[in-house]
Chain A
Amino acid sequence: MAEPCFPLDELDALIEEALTEEPFLKAPLSLQRGVEARVRLLSLREHERRRFFISIFTLTFLFLGSVFLSGVLVWFTNLSFLYTDGVSGGKGWLDYYATAIMLSFSSYQGAYSLIVSFLLALATFFLAGALQIHKMIYSD
C-alpha cells in the first residue's frame, strides 16, 4: 500500500490550513441578473395565480348564488297555482306584491322608473368601488 503524502500526525494542521486558507470568491456577474429575472417571473406567476383564484372564487360564488336563489324561488313556487291562476301562490306577501305590481304596472310606471334609477345608481357606485379595490389589489 502506498503511503499518503503527509504523515497522519500532521493531518490536523493540514486540515486547518486547507479550510482557513480557502479564498473568498467573487460572485459571478450573472448571479444578480439571474436572480432578478427569476424573481420577476416569480412575481408574475404569483400575480397570475392570485388573479386566477379571485376570478374562480367570484365565478363560483356567483354561480352558487344564482343556483341557490333559483332553488329558493322554485321551493316557494306552487306550480299548480302558477299553471291555473298565473301566480305561484306559494310565496305569501311576495306573491301579493308581485301580482299588485304586475296589475298596476301601467299606472305606476314613473315610480318604478325612479326606483330602478336609484337601484342602477347604487349598482354603479358599488361597481366603481369594487373596480377600485380590484385595481389596488393588482397594482405592484
Chain B
Amino acid sequence: MTREAVVKEFSGSMPDICEPISDVELVRRSQSGSREAFSELVRRHQHLVYNVAYRFMRDATLAEDMAQESFVKAYRLLKGFRGDCSFTTWLYRVTSTTCLTEISKRKRRKEVELTPESGGVICSTEHKPADRDLKEQIRRCVTRLSDRYATIVTLYYLKGISYDEIAQIMDVPLGTLKTWMFRARKQLRYIIEKELLSNG
C-alpha cells in the first residue's frame, strides 16, 4: 500500500469539517497551546512517522515507541518551529533524529538485536531461506549505515519523498545529497556483501 493510499484511507475516518484546516493553521493553533490541534496533526501524520520509525528500528513495538517519542518531542519543540520548511519535512527530521539517537544509545549499551534464526541468508539444499527473509535482511542492513546515510536511504525509499524534500530535511544542497546517496548505496552494498559472506 502506498503512502498516499494509507493517508487517504485514514483521512476518511474524520469529519469533513476538519479537512479544510491546513497543517500550517494546525501548527499555529498547537503553538498557541491547543492540544486538539496537535491531536489532529498526529492523526494526519501518524502513518508516515510510524513507517519512518519502523524502517529505522525494524521492530513494530520499538517503532511505536519511537513514533510516540517523536510526536512528544515534536510537541515540546513546536514553539521553535518557524515554518521555514513544511511541517511534514520538520517532522521527518524530528523522527529520524529520535530514532538515530535511540539506535546510538542501544549501540553504546551493546544491546543485541533479536533476529530470528530464519532470517539468515545461508543457502543450503535442505533449508533454502524464503525470499522475503533475504529482503528483510537487506532492509536491516540499512540501519548499519552511518547515521546520515541511513537517514537518506530510509527516507528515499519511503514512497513519496523526493530528493528535494530529503535535501531540505538533511539541510544540504541537492548535489551533496546525490553524492551521499551514491556513497550510501556503495556502503550498503559492501555491508550486505560482507553479511552474506560472513553468514556463509
Contact = CB atoms under 8 A, between A and B. Distances in A.
Contact of B189 (A15, A23, A140): A15
Nearest to A2: B200
Contacts, number: 124
Interface residues of B, number: 52
B109 to A, nearest CB: 23
Contacts of B129: 5
A22 B139 contact: yes
Interface in B92-120: none
A35 B47 contact: no
A28 B46 CA distance: 9
Interface in A7-47: 8, 11-12, 14-15, 17-28, 30-32, 34-36, 38-40, 42-43
B72 A18 contact: no
B82 interface: no
A31 B46 CA distance: 8
A32 B43 contact: yes
A31 B200 contact: no
Contacts of A28: 50, 60, 64
Contacts of A32: 39, 42-43, 46
B88 to A, nearest CB: 15
B76 A21 contact: no
B39 A11 contact: no
The interface residues of chain B, by DSSP majority, are classed as: helix
B33 A140 contact: yes
A1 interface: yes
A8 B157 CA distance: 22
B188 interface: yes
B75 A19 contact: no
Nearest to B124: A2
A22 B200 contact: no
Given A4-B123, A5-B123, A22-B135, 20 more contacts: A2-B123, A2-B124, A6-B134, A12-B185, A12-B189, A15-B138, A18-B136, A21-B135, A22-B139, A24-B3, A24-B6, A26-B10, A26-B50, A27-B46, A27-B47, A28-B50, A35-B71, A38-B71, A39-B71, A40-B35
